[in-house]
Amino acid sequence: MPNLDSDLDFRNQEDAAEAAEGRRRDDAVRGPDSGPQDPEAMRAAEGLSVSSEEAAAYREHIERGAHQQGEGAPIV
């Protein structure tokens, strides 16, 4: 939540205006959202499957991602 009390705001007027513009741009983004489920797409996806090799690859990717520490992170 933005700090609306300008007396407590540490930014100068230029920085505050830049932050407000950034919030305006962020709020203007209308990207895809989960939205309502599409029954036709759900019917089309029904019964789809992957091979055992693909399933093993998915599991490997998930496991690797779960243990990642980020690029350049120290190993502890």
Give mean pLDDT, residues 45-66.
89
Band (pLDDT 50/70/90 cuts) for residue 34 is low
Q: pTM for the full model?
A: 0.34
Higher pLDDT residue, 66 or 50?
Answer: 50
Q: In 10 A of CB 16, how many CB atoms?
A: 15
Cβ(19)–Cβ(10) under 8 Å? no
Label residue 47 left, alpha or beta by phi (over 0 means left) and psi (-120 to 50 means alpha). Answer: left
Does the pLDDT value for residue 76 go beyond 70? no
Higher pLDDT residue, 29 or 58?
Answer: 58
Band (pLDDT 50/70/90 cuts) for residue 30 is confident
DSSP code of 74? P
Please state, in angstroms and as integers, the Cα–Cα distance from residue 8 to each residue in 2, 12, 14, 17, following that order: 11, 11, 16, 15
